[in-house]
């Protein structure tokens, strides 16, 4: 049987802090004929990525789509629904979308579009909570959208702001579990990782390291605020080792050097979602400590980690080995994010297209 043709239209690819796209593509590429178009270049691209075309020209994308004749379009991030919906209607094919955290639980950064605005105002618009979701709701609820995959904790917010319940598909994060799964012994160091942005509050990791100078703290910070964090670290006496950017396929070996992952987050912003690093660490046998910024994190971390309200809560914990029962629970908890297991949540949506006549894309 001919493979279904899927056109990915992404906002930014291949960004090293967004490896969920890499894991998703690798899990699907053997069963589907996939093309990738990215509208923007990655700030920190990784090697070994899926082939892609970079263009932000709508006509060029339409021409490429007409040539490829996709059965379905797919993208990431709620705020790209406008772009995907527009293209899907032009091609008369359906689309699917995978949401994440930053794009749902707080308004995304304003994006420059090519749409002309008829009326302009000098006064800034007031940001209304959930307004960005309300703006996307009609596009998600439209018949051209097959479904929106999203973290379970975001369902209530999405429904409250107008997205139909039957359009929402609950799904844990996208992680290549098989790449990280390793039951062998771990090292003794402490780590943190992720995009260096204010909501991650990585300066708390520096503070923790300064309090425990006999332990080795390694920070795998990616882009953005790294320079500022290095200045904070210098002022504190360099208690943290800043690691260079690591290629995604080399990260499993880095996790194995560590006993604990301490994932910091701002208690004021509370907008860190369900980080892939939690599941990656658990699959690697690393103990997990995460800032307890919201109740929903208990569902994600499970009994396989510690949610802390202050750094003092974990100072004694991370000086000791990870309890064996917590480590074992971590392997099982991480499986919930295994893309090779839950990819059917996405492909079941695509399979709805198989019963239709192939799109002519005329």
Q: Indicate whether 198 pLDDT > 50.
A: yes
Question: pLDDT for 4-14, tens place per residue?
Answer: 999 999 999 99
Q: What is the pLDDT at residue 362?
A: 39
Rounded mean pLDDT of 87-94?
A: 96
Q: What is the pLDDT at residue 354?
A: 76
Give residue for tokens 């789509």. Answer: 65
Q: Indicate whether 107 pLDDT > 80.
A: no
Q: What is the pLDDT at residue 129?
A: 59
Name the E strands within the chain: 5-10, 33-38, 53-54, 72-76, 95-98, 145-150, 168-170, 189-195, 217-222, 240-242, 258-263, 287-291, 306-308
Q: What is the pLDDT at residue 183?
A: 98
Q: Are 150 and 161 in contact (CB under 8 A)?
A: no
Q: What is the pLDDT at residue 130?
A: 82
CA distance 18 to 23: 10
Q: What is the pLDDT at residue 223?
A: 81
| Angle, helix 324-335 to helix 276-283, in steps of 10 degrees | 120
Q: Where in the chain is the domain with CATH 3.40.50.2000?
A: 5-175+339-354, 177-335
CA distance 201 to 266: 5
Q: What is the pLDDT at residue 356?
A: 62
Q: Indicate whether 127 pLDDT > 50.
A: no
Structure tokens at 54: 């970079």
CA distance 343 to 355: 20
Q: What are phi and psi of 10, to 5 degrees?
A: -110, 155
pTM for the model stands at 0.91
Q: What is the pLDDT at residue 113?
A: 38
Please choose, from the candidates 325, 290, 138, 118, the residue with its C-alpha nearest in 3D space to the C-alpha of residue 200: 290
The CATH code for residues 177-335 is 3.40.50.2000
Question: pLDDT for 333-359, tens place per residue?
Answer: 999 999 999 999 999 999 999 756 544
Question: pLDDT for 264-299, tens place per residue?
Answer: 999 999 999 999 999 999 999 999 999 999 999 999
Q: What is the pLDDT at residue 108?
A: 44
Q: Indicate whether 116 pLDDT > 80.
A: no
Domain 5-175+339-354 has CATH 3.40.50.300: no
Please choose, from the candidates 297, 308, 301, 306, the residue with its C-alpha nearest in 3D space to the C-alpha of residue 333: 301
Please choose, from the candidates 276, 249, 277, the residue with its C-alpha nearest in 3D space to the C-alpha of residue 191: 277
Rounded mean pLDDT of 121-126?
A: 38
């Amino acid at each position: 049987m001919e493979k279904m043709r899927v056109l990915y239209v992404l906002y930014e690819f291949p960004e090293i802090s967004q490896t969920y796209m890499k894991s998703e593509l690798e899990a699907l590429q053997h069963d589907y004929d996939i093309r990738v178009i990215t509208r923007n270049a990655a700030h920190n691209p990784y090697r070994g990525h899926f082939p892609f075309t970079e263009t932000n020209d709508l006509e060029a994308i339409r021409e490429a789509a007409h040539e490829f004749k996709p059965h379905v379009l797919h993208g990431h991030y709620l705020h790209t629904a406008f772009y995907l919906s527009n293209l899907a209607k032009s091609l008369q094919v359906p689309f699917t979308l995978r949401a994440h955290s930053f794009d749902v639980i707080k308004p995304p950064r304003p994006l420059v579009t090519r749409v002309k605005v008829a009326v302009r105002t000098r006064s800034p618009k007031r940001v209304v909570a959930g307004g960005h979701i309300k703006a996307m709701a009609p596009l998600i609820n439209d018949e051209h959208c097959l479904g929106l995959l999203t973290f379970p904790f975001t369902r209530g917010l999405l429904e409250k702001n107008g997205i139909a319940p039957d359009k929402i598909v609950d799904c844990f994060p996208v992680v290549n579990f098989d790449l990280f799964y390793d039951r062998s012994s771990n090292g003794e160091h402490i780590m943190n990782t992720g995009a260096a942005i204010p909501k991650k509050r990585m300066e708390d990791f520096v503070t923790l390291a300064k309090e425990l100078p006999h332990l080795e703290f390694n920070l795998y910070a990616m882009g953005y605020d790294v320079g500022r964090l290095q200045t904070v670290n210098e002022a504190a006496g360099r208690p943290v080792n800043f690691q260079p950017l690591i290629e995604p396929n080399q990260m499993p070996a880095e996790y194995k050097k560590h006993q604990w992952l301490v994932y910091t987050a701002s208690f004021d912003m509370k907008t860190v979602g369900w980080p892939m690093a939690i599941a990656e660490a658990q699959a690697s046998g690393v103990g997990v400590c995460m800032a307890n910024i919201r109740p929903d994190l208990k569902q994600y971390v499970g009994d396989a980690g510690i949610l802390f309200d202050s750094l003092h809560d974990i100072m004694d914990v991370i000086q000791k080995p990870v309890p064996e029962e917590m480590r074992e629970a971590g392997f099982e908890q991480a499986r919930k994010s295994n893309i090779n297991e839950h990819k059917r949540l996405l492909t079941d949506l695509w399979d709805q297209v198989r019963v239709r006549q192939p799109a002519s894309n005329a």
